[in-house]
Amino acid sequence: MLSALLLVAITTYPPLARASVQTPTLKSCSSSEKVMLSDVSIRNAKLNQKMTVNFSITINEPLESNPKLQVTLTKKDGREVVCLLYIGSCTYNLCGKSNIVEQTLGESWGNKCPVPATALQKTVDVPLPSLLGTFIGKLPTTLTVRLNVTNGGKTVGCQSFKVDIAGA
């Protein structure tokens, strides 16, 4: 689930992305901690490459009421990166499978609600197409990734972190 979340969200990281591993600091953006990310590492965050994201996710109670993941990517100037081809600032149904991101996010629970309480470790490969550079600006750059999970319209977990992405 959060694999797609991070898949979409972590589509960025600046100058040290040549072959280095980034371990961003996670900041809470909600008082609710029913869904939490941890142990995030990002490797090969470079345009025209395949970025690898490793992370752990803990869901402390079942998500039964139309759970969604809202990914917001913000550029250095504060503007949001648009949602294009399921990359950028997009919202995903955690019990749906209408696109590749939702399919990836929900594969651990068969893309069906309720999303069970669980703890998972995931590795996701995320292609960083050259087209992405058009939307995120001059490279290298830093993006802020905000991941907000809702259940029944109420936030049940929200975290943000910064990611650097290098040019091709």
pLDDT for res 71: 96
CATH number for 21: 2.70.220.10
Is residue 90 pLDDT above 60, yes or no? yes
Greatest CA separation for the chain: 42
| CB-CB contact of 137 with 76 (8 Å) | yes
Looking at the structure of the chain, the number of domains it has is 1
Tell the residue number behind the tokens 């590492």, with chain if given.
Answer: 41
- Whole-angstrom CA distances from 96 to 47, 83, 122, 150 are 29, 18, 19, 14
Report the Cα–Cα distance between both ends of the chain, in Å, rounded.
29
Residue 3 CA, chain-centre distance (Å), reads 7
**What pTM, to 2 d.p., does this model score?**
0.86
Confidence of residue 14 (pLDDT cuts 50, 70, 90): very low
Residue entry with tokens 């990359």: 87
Shortest CA distance to 159 belongs to which of 62, 45, 69, 52? 69
Over residues 142-158, the mean pLDDT reads 97
Question: Which domain covers residue 32, as residue numbers?
Answer: 2-165
In this structure, of 43-52, 128-137, 158-167, the range with the lowest mean pLDDT score is: 128-137
